[in-house]
Amino acid sequence: MSDDMTTQVFKEEAYELLGELETSLLELEDVPDDMDIINRVFRALHTIKGSGSMFGFEAIAEFTHEVETIFDMVRNGELGITKTLLTFSLSARDHIYSMLESPAGEVDSSVGEGILEGLKEVVSGAEVEESMEEPTADIAEAAEVGGIKSEPVVPAEPVVEGLSLKSLFQIVIKVAPGNEVEEESLDSLMEELGKMGVVRAKVLHRGAEVWWDVIFESNADSMSIEEIFFFTDVPVTVNVREVAREDIAGFLDVSHEDVDDRVAETTQPTKKLGEILVERGDVPAEAIKEVLADQKPLGELLTEKGVVSKEKVESALAEQNATKEFRSAAKKTRKKVDTASSIRVSAEKLDYLVDLVGELVIVQAQISQVVSSKADPSLTALSEELERLSDELRDSTLGIRMLPIGTTFSKFRRLVRDLSEELGKEIDLNTNGAETELDKTVIERLGDPLVHLLRNSIDHGIEDPETRAAKGKPRRGTITLSAEHSGGDVMILIEDDGKGMSREAIRGKAIEKGLVSADQDITDKEVFNLIFEPGFSTAQSVTNVSGRGVGMDVVKRAIDSLRGSIDISSTEGAGSVITIRLPLTLAIIDGLQVRVSDDYFVIPLSLVEECVELTRKDVEEANGQQFVNLRGEIVPYIRIREWFEVEGESPPIEQIVITGLEGSRIGVVVDTVIGEHQTVIKSLGRVYRDVEGISGATIKGDGTLALILDIPKLFRTVLAEVKAAG
């Protein structure tokens, strides 16, 4: 593997660990005594340090080591979790991220030094209690067995005190031959184990060979145990196996005649007496079965001797069976987890795969069109099979691009924490539906709009604690970020329990800016949508967070570019709800293909409600105005022929495609509706990128182009014309 590839592997792993580190640190703010979370923080730091050192990122390794040392004290109970400690730790996480991002780790070293100084002040200001208790000595005395010297090892006191430690492991740790190992190095590894559970161990020597025989009781899993030895400088091989409690009876008195045999015992079960006799040929297998069949179960023997009643034996057997079933189920679960695997694929390769699938969909459409003109049954069957396979491949490939939106949600906890502290507010962020999946491209482009909306909720929506208390509200405000599937779309809601929006304040500002007239009657929905106008702000003062009228119009454009919609509802004094609707993917969509003269267009099918006819009589009855009476509802429409200046005469009967967006409806007038079309979206070149009313293009089955209509843009144009007409 080249240096560039190894560096990239390290960085990708480090970015994931930094994300987990930030999440864990924020969780510690709510549950500072949770040892599982503390251990997650320590393991993330430990892995970043070890990997950094391994791949030559010495500056990262040295800095992370200092932070890791602090959390080692936390694990040992020598230092408590405080808000100041978490603040400096989050800053340390940001500094490590900066070192990863900058070329050759070139960052301002004074920033890192300042963070470490802050952490040292936290440590020096804390009360550290040192335990002077003598360690337990229920370890066997040193002995000489078969030329092998056995020395007792006193385990460190576990930091998991108070937990129920049930899992038992046997660990054989063998030092590689020819290597000299200092006892301090071995002791440090033992101390690391002791921090995760209760250790019972013996160090064994035979000449120059050294190994450990360890019984370890902990709630950890085998992977966590092996991690302890992953980055150690001690040249050891480690075998870990989970054992039943009854299998370790007399552990401390077991003699070891050969280390290799002992290592083999960790992976191979001991043979039963009957198996050995059969293998040697001393006893036939049938004889063993007959003898075993004659043996009575222990419960039956005890009942016959009157030691215990039959009912109590049956009760004990029921408990035994339940335990067996539980262990069997747990074993199957562990096996499934162990066999599950995943691979890391670069985003560029995945995007290229999606592009290839898109091309395949286009070619398949072309083949289907050619085959339909041949009327050959065998070709038709092959074409249908190709269509089925390409559809499955398309769905599978797009499924690979789908990511849980929780990957975006998690980073907002830090935003809410830091910004609320800066503004002197107390705010909790709740998230729901983090498992809801969206196309990775949508998620990437959704981050900035959500940041704007959350900042507005924190700054404009949630009141300061004193104001909330005076209103009878809890001092801590709440922002809820949730996602859920809604039909073919994903719906994202940002709710807060703040002061809400003042309808009159927004309307007054709109009148002042000339956006609406003083006598114009507008709905609540229209009032709240005014905040998306460029330069619009009702803030009384400009802060470093908001108030300049920049941001909400950017949010609107960003959501529109994702073919989505955004809606606001608010109750003054109670809070606001912002609803965003987004398509699941931006790569391949279902579209409705239409034609105007010889030009073809595609309308996203998710926005289409119905299709109706438009006759010349309908046009005459509307007195030239572009409205249609649709079952008692007046719906405005726009003519694609006029919008794009398509030459030719309109047919006597045209088609209106009724589309719905943000609670409103408009019609799109075309010559002919052709039907549903699997649309592979192709971006337009720089010259055509800003053409109003077009969001992209696709290739039809015959190789010609069809333009994809930008329905949100057409919506705004039509509604603006309707308002202007009064």
Which of 557, 562, 582, 428 minimizes the C-alpha distance to 493?
582
- Span 645-674, average pLDDT: 87
What is the β-pairing status of strands 575-583 and 489-496?
Answer: antiparallel
Least confident stretch, 111-120, 346-355, 528-537, 669-678: 528-537
pLDDT tens, residue by residue, 348-390: 888 888 888 888 888 888 888 888 888 888 888 998 899 888 8
One of 22, 39, 46, 95 is an active-site residue; which one? Answer: 46
- Span 148-171, average pLDDT: 50
Q: How far is CA 58 from the centre of its chain?
A: 29
pLDDT tens, residue by residue, 234-277: 667 777 877 765 555 444 343 334 334 443 444 444 556 666 66
One of 22, 192, 456, 677 is an active-site residue; which one? Answer: 456
pLDDT tens, residue by residue, 287-307: 777 776 666 676 777 777 777
Q: Is the pLDDT of residue 71 over 60?
A: yes
Sheet with 236-243: list strands edge to edge.
143-145, 148-153, 197-206, 209-218, 167-175, 236-243
- Span 455-470, average pLDDT: 89
- Span 485-492, average pLDDT: 77
The average confidence (pLDDT) of the chain is 75
Can 456 be counted among the known catalytic residues? Answer: yes
Can 46 be counted among the known catalytic residues? Answer: yes
- Span 163-179, average pLDDT: 64
Least confident stretch, 23-37, 220-234, 237-251, 410-424: 237-251
Which of 607, 561, 569, 551 minimizes the C-alpha distance to 493?
569
Q: Is the pLDDT of residue 178 over 60?
A: no
Max mean pLDDT range (16-20, 317-321, 478-482, 658-662): 478-482
The pLDDT confidence band at residue 133, using thresholds 50, 70 and 90, is: very low
Q: Is the pLDDT of residue 57 over 70?
A: yes
The pLDDT confidence band at residue 550, using thresholds 50, 70 and 90, is: very low
Distance, in Å, from the CA atom of 197 to the CA atom of 477, rounded to the nearest integer, reads 40
Token pair belonging to 714: 């057409």
Name 286's Cβ contacts closer than 8 Å, sequence gap at least 6: none
Token pair belonging to 95: 């500094």
Q: How many CB atoms lie within 10 A of CB 348?
A: 8
Token pair belonging to 82: 């405080």
pLDDT of residue 141: 37
- Span 22-40, average pLDDT: 86
- Span 160-169, average pLDDT: 52
Q: 368: helix, coil or strand?
A: helix
pLDDT of residue 262: 41
Distance, in Å, from the CA atom of 7 to the CA atom of 3, rounded to the nearest integer, reads 6
Token pair belonging to 329: 């189920």
On the CB side of 380, how many CA atoms lie within 13 Å of its CA? 6
Q: Note whether 189 and 229 are within 8 A (CB).
A: yes
Least confident stretch, 137-141, 165-169, 193-197, 543-547: 137-141
Q: Note whether 9 and 50 are within 8 A (CB).
A: no
Token pair belonging to 384: 């249908």
How many Å is the maximal CA-CA distance in the chain? 111
On the CB side of 467, how many CA atoms lie within 13 Å of its CA? 12
Token pair belonging to 436: 């809801």
Q: Which helix (H) or strand (E) holds 54?
A: helix 35-54
Q: Is the pLDDT of residue 598 over 70?
A: yes
Query: End-to-end alpha-carbon separation of the chain, Å?
Result: 69
One of 22, 68, 157, 495 is an active-site residue; which one? Answer: 68
Q: How far is CA 109 from the centre of its chain?
A: 32
Q: Note whether 173 and 211 are within 8 A (CB).
A: yes
The DSSP annotation for 418-475 comes to HHHHHTT--EEEEEE-TT-EEEHHHHHHHHHHHHHHHHHIIIIISPPHHHHHHTT--S
- Span 53-66, average pLDDT: 84
pLDDT tens, residue by residue, 10-19: 788 888 888 8
Distance, in Å, from the CA atom of 169 to the CA atom of 226, rounded to the nearest integer, reads 12
pLDDT tens, residue by residue, 179-215: 565 555 666 777 777 777 777 767 666 656 667 777 7
Distance, in Å, from the CA atom of 180 to the CA atom of 209, rounded to the nearest integer, reads 9
Distance, in Å, from the CA atom of 515 to the CA atom of 530, rounded to the nearest integer, reads 8
pLDDT of residue 103: 63
Token pair belonging to 696: 């992209």
pLDDT of residue 289: 73
pLDDT tens, residue by residue, 622-645: 787 888 888 888 888 888 988 888
Which DSSP category does 725 fall into? T
Is the whole model's pTM more than 0.85, yes or no?
Answer: no
Token pair belonging to 273: 């007496």
Q: Note whether 156 and 186 are within 8 A (CB).
A: no
Tell me the angle at which helices 83-101 and 3-30 cross, rounded to the nearest 10 degrees: 160
Distance, in Å, from the CA atom of 143 to the CA atom of 150, rounded to the nearest integer, reads 5
Position with higher pLDDT, 146 vs 72:
72
